[in-house]
Amino acid sequence: DQQVKQNSPSLSVQEGRISILNCDYTNSMFDYFLWYKKYPAEGPTFLISISSIKDKNEDGRFTVFLNKSAKHLSLHIVPSQPGDSAVYFCAASEGMTTDSWGKLQFGAGTQVVVTP
């Protein structure tokens, strides 16, 4: 039973435009959310995170928005660059206690292709 869902398996966007990746979750106990980026034959690398006490977090070209009532978060990348072409995973955690920290529930990922 997938508690984190990324319903768009792929996204194609033109260089310089905005990429919007969506993620939905079902577990109301999740209170920490992360986005990871993955290139082929490499491990996922952390991109940006947001705590449930916030509704927005920004880091350079990357912004994550959280709508707790809708159990929805999104990642905005603007402007998109060819190097952003990768698989993006949404992940969620129930909290920061020792026995749950790092127990991330991942979505299936969205393949982003940025075209010149």
Partner 1 sequence: DTAVSQTPKYLVTQMGNDKSIKCEQNLGHDTMYWYKQDSKKFLKIMFSYNNKELIINETVPNRFSPKSPDKAHLNLHINSLELGDSAVYFCASSQELPGGTGELFFGEGSRLTVL
CA atoms within 13 A on the CB side of 70: 10
Binding site for partner 1 (CB under 8 A): 2, 32, 34, 36, 41-46, 49, 87, 89, 91, 96, 98-104, 106-109
Which CB sits closer to partner 1, 99 or 116? 99
Q: How far is the CB of 69 from partner 1 (least distance, A)?
A: 25
Which CB sits closer to partner 1, 25 or 107? 107
Q: How far does CA 102 lie from the centroid of its chain?
A: 16
Which CB sits closer to partner 1, 83 or 102? 102
